[in-house]
Amino acid sequence: MDKGALIDTDMLIDLARGKEGIAAHLEKLKKTGNLYISVVTYMELVVGCRNKSEQRFVDKLVEKFTVVNIDASISETAMRFLKKYKLSHGLLIPDALIAATAATLEIGLLTWNRKDYRFIDGLAMLPAPRAARK
């Protein structure tokens, strides 16, 4: 497994809001490998923008990470996850694509929303920062 980490959307939202401990946690992770985000995460952040200023802020934030586009391997893995977990666990398309990105790259996923992913066999979940989510 690569020493990198895939950062989920919720972590980036809290990073942008200045939540305590997240920036330091990401810096610590960066010392051990690359930090990635899925293009799906980038899209989710853009959809949340209310104006051009916020969109520029998101673009600047995303520059700190390697954006991973969806390729055939990620698509196939996401489809496999959906077929296996949609009915039993309610897995959603964006979460399937994000999980498939981490699984395909063979890196851990950093998220507050462990419940959205914990049932996916073979997906490595990284410990979240010690800072409170709230």
C-alpha 23/C-alpha 26 separation (Å) is: 5
Task: Give the domain CATH number at 111.
Answer: 3.40.50.1010
If one counts the domains in the chain, the total is: 1
Q: Is residue 86 domain-resident?
A: yes
C-alpha 48/C-alpha 53 separation (Å) is: 12
Q: Is residue 66 domain-resident?
A: yes
pLDDT digits over 31-62, tens only? 989 999 999 999 999 999 999 999 999 999 99
Q: Is residue 28 domain-resident?
A: yes
Q: Is residue 21 domain-resident?
A: yes
- What is the percent of the chain where pLDDT is above 90? 88
- What is the percent of the chain where pLDDT is above 70? 96
Average confidence score pLDDT of the chain = 93
pLDDT digits over 97-113, tens only? 999 999 999 999 999 99
Q: Is residue 131 domain-resident?
A: no
For the entire predicted model, the pTM comes to 0.92
Asked if pLDDT for residue 78 goes beyond 50, the answer is yes
Domain that holds residue 62: 5-116
Q: Which of 116, 102, 93, 95 is nearest to 68 (CA)?
A: 102
Q: Is residue 128 domain-resident?
A: no
- Burial (Cβ within 10 Å: 0-12, 13-18, ≥19) of residue 122: exposed
pLDDT score for 44: 97
> Which segments of the chain does DSSP mark as H helices, in order?
9-16, 22-30, 39-47, 52-62, 72-89, 93-105
Q: Is residue 129 domain-resident?
A: no
82-112 per-residue burial string, b: 16 or more CB within 10 A, e: under 16: beebeeebebeebbbbbbbbbbbbebbbbbb
Structure tokens at 59: 């673009």
Q: Is residue 62 domain-resident?
A: yes
Cross-strand bridge partners of residue 108: 5
